[in-house]
Amino acid sequence: MRKYFESLPVYSEYFDEAIDAIIAAMDSGIHAEKGRVLHELGATNKDFWFLKDGFLKEMYRSPYSNEDSLFNMIPPSSIFVNEDTLFANRRPQHYFVAYTSVEILRLKEAEYQKLLQQYPILINLLYISGTAEIQRGRRQRYVGCRGRSRVSSSRHRCQ
């Protein structure tokens, strides 16, 4: 997990104490096999999660069709949250499915709030930087997906 934080663009040794505190506050979280819907990451969850091993599919539950669609593929060494629940306090339109066997660590919301009080600037910088990296990864996968779908036949969708 330390490697994840050290890979962020804002990282400096100044963050080490806060990073150590975050790592110490994480619990064992979830182990799940391929194909399992992770209900622990559901509608009421406001915890932060670190995908240690494996890949997760973040699926979008469309209110307009009967078919759910792939919103994001979350790679190993990623931090993620249920943004609809945490920030907008509304029922999420997203859910998570183990694309492979996964190991996910958890930072409970209460622990996050304690760390935020102790290291407010550092925790916010780490979170914003981590979120920016996730968004960058989404854009890269989306652009790559669009490029492949233009040259492939209409029967094949980027998944």
Q: Is residue 120 part of a domain?
A: yes
Q: Is residue 151 part of a domain?
A: no
What is the overall mean pLDDT for the chain?
A: 78
Q: Is residue 32 part of a domain?
A: yes
Q: Is residue 157 part of a domain?
A: no
Q: Is residue 28 part of a domain?
A: yes
Helix axis angle for 120-151 and 109-118, nearest 10°, is 120
Residues 99-151 have pLDDT tens digits of 999 999 988 889 988 998 998 887 777 777 666 666 666 666 556 555 544 44
Closest CA to 89 of 109, 117, 71: 109
DSSP-derived 3-state class of residue 157 = coil
Per-residue burial over 29-58, b = 16 or more CB atoms within 10 Å of its CB, e = otherwise: bbebeeeeebeebeeebebbbbbbebbbbb
Secondary structure element (H or E) that encloses residue 85, with its range: helix 83-88
Tell me, what's the pLDDT at 118?
92
Q: Is residue 131 part of a domain?
A: yes
The strand pair at 94-98 and 78-81 is best described as unpaired
Q: Is residue 153 part of a domain?
A: no
Count of residues making up the chain: 159
85, pLDDT greater than 60: no
Report the CATH number that the domain containing residue 32 is assigned in CATH.
Answer: 2.60.120.10
Report pTM: 0.72
Tell me, what's the pLDDT at 149?
46
Q: How many domains does the chain have?
A: 1
- Range name among 20-24, 25-29, 136-140 with the lowest pLDDT average: 136-140
Tell me, what's the pLDDT at 138?
62
Supply the range of the domain harboring residue 63: 2-145
Q: Is residue 43 part of a domain?
A: yes
Residues 46-69 have pLDDT tens digits of 788 889 999 999 888 877 888 888
Helix axis angle for 109-118 and 16-25, nearest 10°, is 160
